[in-house]
Amino acid sequence: MSELLRLARSIRCLSADPRQAFIHRLRIGLAVAALILIFSQLG
Query: What is the domain extent for residue 30?
Result: 2-42
Helices (H) and strands (E) in the chain, counts: 2, 0
Please tell me the predicted confidence (pLDDT) of residue 23: 92
Residue-wise pLDDT tens digits, 1-43: 788 888 888 888 888 889 998 999 999 999 999 999 999 999 7
Number of domains in the chain: 1
Query: Does the model's pTM come out above 0.85?
Result: no
Q: In sequence order, which residues have a C-beta less than 8 Å from that of residue 21 and are 6 or more positions away?
A: 13, 15
